[in-house]
Structure 1
Amino acid sequence: MLAGRLEIASRTFSVREVPEPEPGPGEVRVRVRAAGVCLSDVHLIDGSLTPMFLGAPEVTLGHEVAGEIDALGPDVTQWSVGDRVVLQAGQRCEACPNCRRFRDPCLAVRTRGVDYDGGWAEYALASQHTLVAIPDTLSFEQAAIVPDAVSTPWGAVTDTGRATPGRPAGVWGVGGLGAHAVQLLRLVGAAPVIAVDPLPAARERALEFGADAAFDPADPSLRAEVTALCGGGLDVAYDMAGVAAVREQALGCLAPGGRLVLVGLTPQPLTIQNSIALSFREQQVLGHYGSSQDAVEQLVALTRFGRLDLARSISATIPLAEAGEAVARLQGKQGDPIRLILVP
């Protein structure tokens, strides 16, 4: 089968033929119908990110995956061949103290397409406990992006950032994660929802997705405008870009007691120019990664009942064989995509 493989030492990516995987005990084999291309995939290829738990010299990329069950391994009883499923973006390590004591959260989550083979392939293996059924009304393309592009901002909005109805929230960076953060903040009732992005097209998109206002970060009056609109500043701000300057600007727009949630990933150092002000105003800087185990199922339910529309999120579908081109398009922000989808 075809698979998009990354050799870690050299950061060499290629789409090539590899053996079809066989499901082991408790596993299923999924015929991949759609796989998302995430900025994290780009960072793995360019070396900005390195797998923490990968026990092999190379890995099949892809942590946003949807398809049909093709084969069942031994001891799989709750799934059937032909079931439409989306795959969780990771799985428990089964070795940390919390896993041994059946507690949440796992302290060393393994990420699909990073720490073990993912879904940029014609077939992918998955533990039966990492599958979520999807209805016929949800396309594979839309389902595929739920496990990260939608569930990560969902976790940031509802858990880490604790956004609340009627309270102001801001989103810096309206790309694959930020566009959904805007949509989800509106869904939970945050108000006003403010978006900040240097690209005019991204600001327009933010307004279409439900933002109450959208600003250019280069606007010298941004802080004053945000403060005036929110009546004193933001309750919570989300850095979806992973950029140092973004974090500094977002901190400056927080109200007393406000929270800055770091969602965008970057190896660059985190600096706070005035930590005295941060302490005096009792503000917080919070790291965020992924989402709770229930998030994907919650979001699938929201789409099923019409609360969440992901149709606008699919910017283009691209053959798996052209995965390298998809990576280049996302890296260069060609067409300012929300999500590009690989189709085997």
Structure 2
Amino acid sequence: MTETMLAERFYAKDHSIHLEDVPVPHPGPGNVLIEVAYCGICHSDLSLINGTFPAQLPEVTQGHEASGTIVEVGVGVTGWKVGDRVIPSAGRPCFTCRKCRRGDFANCLHLNLMAFAYDGAWAKYHEAAATGLTKIPENVPMDQAALLADAVSTPYAAVVHTAQVHMGNAVAVWGVGGVGTHLVQLAKVAGGVPVIAIDLNDEVLARAKRVGADHVLHSDDPDLMSKIEDLTHGRMIDVAFDAVGIKPTLRAAVDSLDVDGKAVSLGLSSQDIDAGPFMNFNLQRKRVYGHLGYRGQDIGVLAEMLSYHRLDLSESISEVIPLSEIKRGIQDLEEHRNNPIRILVKP
């Protein structure tokens, strides 16, 4: 192993990114060193660069959706060994907030996010806490495994934990890009029927249909609500997901709900929430939930689903690029070139 490695570095002072040679880390107590196989480019990475997410460090290596192989084990680590194929968790509890003091680490109020509060995996090597690792089944490819640590696990947690989608729920998804495509797939696996994908783009709607949407609709259709009513035989939507995170999409999601329906927002923007008139919202007992992240065990469940072929992510990898082309990959995602679900970096 060399003493230095190529890594992407984000600088908060001017929101710039650079490729630099940096020292290879060595794992401290309780940590492991992972040789990164793949790491995704996520919209939250873009949010740090464009300032939507406030910087937590003056400089940091980005990238939080990674897979790789353990090459070094720190003092005190048990249950893991060199050669294990793993997915690192994309966050660490703070251990100081009131939730952590009660042992409720999964609901830490000040979660330290990988690639924001500590160095991520747009680099050859990544130091990770051993307690947050997930083993990759032998029949699961490393590129698909990298998707699980946010691109798929966040939608999974939204479907299973926040929305609690179950058999027979009518489900609609506004925005079927990276997160929305996986919401469609996972809502169908959970028993949603029908699952309706809603977007402006014909290509992404065709893709949503290929991966499991029962119906696709255009979000700018003036007859959208009446078409949803027809498709659900008058009962409207039980669970609506907003994967865009802007006023019009959340408002449309809320408007589509049946009595006691739930709208779950996963999209991130600086806009305010619009849930409609109090009269309609309260009389029909509608609910709006915000969602971010996942539980550590969710990645393990998804890895097992891939292993047993209960989930197909073959269309989710839009492109694989070398680390040297990271700026181009970021720009492609930002400008939606070729409608990517996930662009992966191979350091």
| Equivalent position of 1:215 in the other structure | 217
| Alpha-carbon separation, structure 2, partners of 1:273 and 1:305 | 42
State the SS of the aligned residue for 2:239.
strand
C-alpha offsets along residues 235-288 of structure 1, whole Å, 9 cap, x if unaligned? 010011112111111111111111110101112111233122111111011010
* Structure 2 unaligned regions, length at least 5: none
Aligned-residue offset at 1:98: 2.1
| Alpha-carbon separation, structure 1, partners of 2:131 and 2:313 | 25
Q: Is the 8 A contact 2:88 2:129 kept in 1?
A: no
| Alpha-carbon separation, structure 1, partners of 2:99 and 2:52 | 29
C-alpha offsets along residues 138-194 of structure 1, whole Å, 9 cap, x if unaligned? 111110110111000000001111111011011011111110110001111100000
Q: Is the 8 A contact 2:69 2:86 kept in 1?
A: yes
- The AA in structure 2 aligned to 1:185 is A
Aligned to 1:267, which of 247, 267, 270?
270
1:125-204, aligned counterparts within 5 Å?
125-204=127-206
State the SS of the aligned residue for 1:18.
strand
* RMSD across aligned positions (CA): 1.1
| Equivalent position of 2:62 in the other structure | 61
| Equivalent position of 1:328 in the other structure | 331
Q: Is the 8 A contact 2:333 2:340 kept in 1?
A: yes
Aligned-residue offset at 1:220: 0.7
* Structure 1 unaligned regions, length at least 5: none
| Alpha-carbon separation, structure 2, partners of 1:218 and 1:91 | 40
State the SS of the aligned residue for 2:161.
helix
- The AA in structure 1 aligned to 2:225 is R
| Alpha-carbon separation, structure 2, partners of 1:4 and 1:268 | 30
| Equivalent position of 1:87 in the other structure | 88
Aligned to 1:105, which of 104, 107, 115?
107
State the SS of the aligned residue for 1:265.
coil
C-alpha offsets along residues 113-145 of structure 1, whole Å, 9 cap, x if unaligned? 112111111100100011100022111111011
Q: Is the 8 A contact 1:49 1:267 kept in 2?
A: no
| Equivalent position of 1:226 in the other structure | 228
- The AA in structure 2 aligned to 1:266 is S
Q: Structure 2 length as normaliser, TM-score?
A: 0.96
- Determine whether 1:239 maps to 2:242: yes
Count of aligned pairs between the two proteins: 341
| Equivalent position of 2:27 in the other structure | 23
1:30-69, aligned counterparts within 5 Å?
30-51=34-55, 54=56, 56-69=57-70
| Alpha-carbon separation, structure 2, partners of 1:265 and 1:37 | 16
Identity over the aligned pairs, expressed in percent? 38
- The AA in structure 2 aligned to 1:38 is C
